[in-house]
Amino acid sequence: MKAIIHHNHKEYQIDLSEPLDISIAISGNDKNVNAWYVGPPKIAPHVDGNFVGAIVSGSSTNFFDISFNPHAHGTHTECIGHISKEHQSINQHVHQFFHFAELITITPQEKNGDLVITRQQVVESMNANRPQALIIRTLPNSSDKLYRKYSHTNPPYILENAMEYIRDSGVEHLLIDLPSVDKEKDDGNLLAHKAFWNYNGKIRMGATITEFVYVEDAIKDGPYFLNLQIAPFENDASPSRPVMYKIL
């Protein structure tokens, strides 16, 4: 199935029959990807007295409780509410779900003992493109990103001036395959988050950051059409399912 998309007075064709799902699912066990020093998510039958919400336990239906943290347990999309004193809901600030996107691949460089994504790397990889959404795949890109335990590992992150370039390029939605765009332990400075949302200026209320994606090696860098799906949580972040489509 193919669809015709019109954007900036141009016509594009996408193939809806070949979705490229770059989300990481949440599973109720310790194999789940994990960060930020919390335990694994839990998915278990609801128990109320003699009632156990599982057909195998005699119930007429499966009736499971789910406990998780969106920031720690899988692909999630966050809004400015993640770093603001005021409550801001992802469900209230995201109103568009389809975007023209650019996928780039970057190998973080070592700097002062950290692995970082630099401004020069972003400039060279974006090649003057100004997409609505930017998807960053980092190397190495092994499949253990699907279940890696990131706590206390100091994962790679984006430098502040690199994020400023991303923001100034007009990117409204940033997606990355790391647990955070900022350093794991940065004394709460959150320089990359603040730069992206222009926290100290005119805040970009509709802009989002999606973390914990996974882009397989077989998917080539370049332009895509992105469907960024979120669950309607009245929270700063929501589990999400970004799906890419090839532009023909």
Q: What CATH number is given to the structural domain containing 173?
A: 3.50.30.50
Residue 177 lies in a domain: yes
Domain count, the chain: 1
Q: Of 157, 233, 229, 231, give the one whose Cα is nearest residue 195.
A: 157
Residue 33 lies in a domain: no
The pLDDT, as a whole number, for residue 63 is 98
Q: Are strands 76-78 and 237-246 parallel, antiparallel or unpaired?
A: antiparallel
Which structural domain, as residue segments, surrounds residue 115? 2-26+74-246
The pLDDT, as a whole number, for residue 126 is 97
Q: Which two tokens stand for residue 219?
A: 């998917």
Give the max Cα distance, the chain. 63
Contact between residue 29 and residue 219 where contact means Cβ atoms under 8 Å apart: no
The pLDDT, as a whole number, for residue 3 is 82
Residue 44 lies in a domain: no
Say what the pTM is. Answer: 0.96
Residue 47 lies in a domain: no
Residue 133 lies in a domain: yes
The pLDDT, as a whole number, for residue 17 is 93
Between CA 64 and CA 62 the distance in angstroms is 6
Residue 55 lies in a domain: no
Residue 104 lies in a domain: yes
pLDDT one-digit tens code per residue, 22-37 = 999 999 999 999 999 9
Residues of the chain with pLDDT under 70: none
Residue 42 lies in a domain: no
